[in-house]
Amino acid sequence: MSKTDTSKTATHILPALPYAENALKPVISAKTLSFHYGKHHQGYVDNLNKLIADTNYADLSLEQIITRAAGKPKKAAIFNNAAQIWNHTFYWQSLTPKGGGEPPAALKQRIEAAFGSVDACKKELASAAVSQFGSGWAWLVLDGEVLKVVKTANAEVPWLTDMKPLLVIDVWEHAYYLDYQNRRADYVNAVLDKLLNWEFALQNAS
């Protein structure tokens, strides 16, 4: 870049995966992780950097980009790519190789207060994940002080409507199709039972 080039430099980078690409098998294969993280997530980062180069979005944080582009039809591509970067980074953290099982006691109490039991919470998450028509996300969130399950379509993020995400499950087909084909419910139930990172949810709820 020459000294007279005043163009801004977009610098969003793909965050590191918190585990190896083969760490989530057999629930999620290394092949799925390789494509999902290495191609899809990376693709959103590359697209966003191209879309915002030399624009007034170039110097903003990812969260600022999402907030500014939300609800603006002409900025839909920027919003979708930025929000998909955020959602995927949150999704990788929502999973852990030895996940599932019982939530930590402090979270378990809150789940039982809101849903009756951990199983009832998981059933509601599964129902949201399976019933989301087309691409989207199933979330455990805090709405004020209330724990809730919500789903969002495409790249939508719950914090734009003031809900605090605790956990998310990606239900875009690219998340499960190589391993489960059309059996979204099997993918969702396996994630809930074996990969869900309750410690991450507790950190986010604190």
Runs of H (alpha helix) within 98-167: 105-115, 118-131
- As measured in angstroms, the least distance from the Cβ of 174 to Fe ion is 5
Q: Of the two residues 57 and 91, which places its CB atom closer to Fe ion in the complex?
A: 91
Residues that bind Fe ion (CB under 5 A): 170, 172, 175
Complex with Fe ion: residue 190 or 202, whichever CB lies closer: 190
End-to-end CA distance of the chain: 45
Min separation Cβ 113 and Fe ion, Å:
31
Coil, helix or strand at residue 156? coil
Torsion, Cα 177 182 183 188, to 10 degrees, reads: 50
The smaller minimum CB distance to Fe ion, of residues 156 and 170, is found at 170
**Edge-to-edge order in the sheet of strand 146-153:** 146-153, 136-143, 164-170
Minimum separation from the CB atom of position 22 to Fe ion (A): 18
* Least Cβ distance, residue 141 to Fe ion (angstroms): 18
Distance CA 60, CA 68 (A): 9
Nearest to Fe ion of 117, 181 (CB atom): 181
